[in-house]
Structure 1
């Protein structure tokens, strides 16, 4: 055991037979210095390994020691390590939470205005209502095949596998649905 570690263990504790602290707190500068020397690098490494370097783990470790000094009268030498790790971990978690809030507000917000004319917007809404009604009027298997192909982008083969039919049957259902939609929606015939 090195002299420093021997001193650290003997400064804080009476021999193991009694297992009671000599000191009620760590407000003495020398005792606090010893705690700092013993745990600073270890705490910094712990935060770095757990959270990476993006949120400045060394700053959070230093802040934890500042909190320890501010609360030195309440912290016994035996509880110093636990106090430091708890405070440092909470500081990092708060930084993570803050980072999430920052990212949330940096996201691109969809515009709440449009350059489209009111007539176009109205026609679009009306078309969507008619489109939904036309889709609802299709047979279930045709609608399913059509939606899998056109909305989900599945190939005819994938649609066939999902529906448990042959590729030819899947193609027929997709085209039948499309033709029925074209009959009900004149906008689809313009292409």
Structure 2
């Protein structure tokens, strides 16, 4: 099939949809995993994104599908985060003072460190954080990261280097 014919088709054809799934599912999972973490169920977000693509397959051409999938997965996860913030706010207002049987000094230090770490990660730009986590957690090479993020290898190297520099500056213990 020529590229022009493919551009005019929608994603409702099963073979096209299947190819899109094979091509983008892992990258979409990794994107959600590294941007938001495992606690937001990246596998579920991938399934939800592809379900939404299938529901709107007549409106989406294959060349726009990747962008659509990433936008849907990102927005779905952001909606979950908003909902969890509401729940946490409610729980913190209704929470009674429960005593914990762990050493208070340890709990305080752990909380301070986690706060520092989360704060440092949150100060990274989304681009730096994604490149950093793909490299350090997933163990992907710069070339692979460049392909996933659609940028040059040099850009990946710079993002990882500046992310490390920024994290070291923010958290002196690392």
Q: Which has the higher helix share?
A: 2
- Structure 1 segment 136-155 matched on structure 2, within 5 A: none
Q: TM-score, normalising length from structure 2?
A: 0.51
> Which residue of structure 2 aligns with residue 107 of structure 1?
92
Cα separation, 2, equivalents of 1:29 and 1:90: 25
Q: Which runs of 5+ in 2 are unaligned?
A: 97-174
Q: Which of 1, 4, 11 is the equivalent residue of 1:26?
A: 11
Which of these two proteins has the greater Rg computed from alpha carbons?
1
Q: Which runs of 4+ in 1 moved over 3 A?
A: 20-23, 108-111
- Structure 1 segment 1-191 matched on structure 2, within 5 A: 11=1, 13-14=3-4, 21-109=6-94
Cα separation, 2, equivalents of 1:40 and 1:97: 24
> Which residue of structure 2 aligns with residue 169 of structure 1?
none
Greater relative contact order structure (CA < 8 Å, 6+ sep): 2
1:73 deviates by: 0.2
Q: Which runs of 5+ in 1 are unaligned?
A: 1-10, 15-19, 112-191
Cα separation, 1, equivalents of 2:55 and 2:30: 23
Q: Give the stretch that moved more between structures: 99-108 or 27-36.
A: 99-108
Q: TM-score, normalising length from structure 1?
A: 0.47
- What RMSD over aligned residues (CA atoms) do the two structures have, in Å? 2.0
Q: CA 1:102/1:85 → structure 2, altered by over 3 Å: closer, same or farther?
A: same
Cα separation, 2, equivalents of 1:12 and 1:101: 49
Residues 12 and 77 of structure 1 are in contact (CA less than 8 Å); yes or no, is this contact kept in structure 2? no
1:110 deviates by: 8.3
1:97 deviates by: 0.4
Residues 12 and 23 of structure 1 are in contact (CA less than 8 Å); yes or no, is this contact kept in structure 2? no
Q: How many residues are aligned here?
A: 96
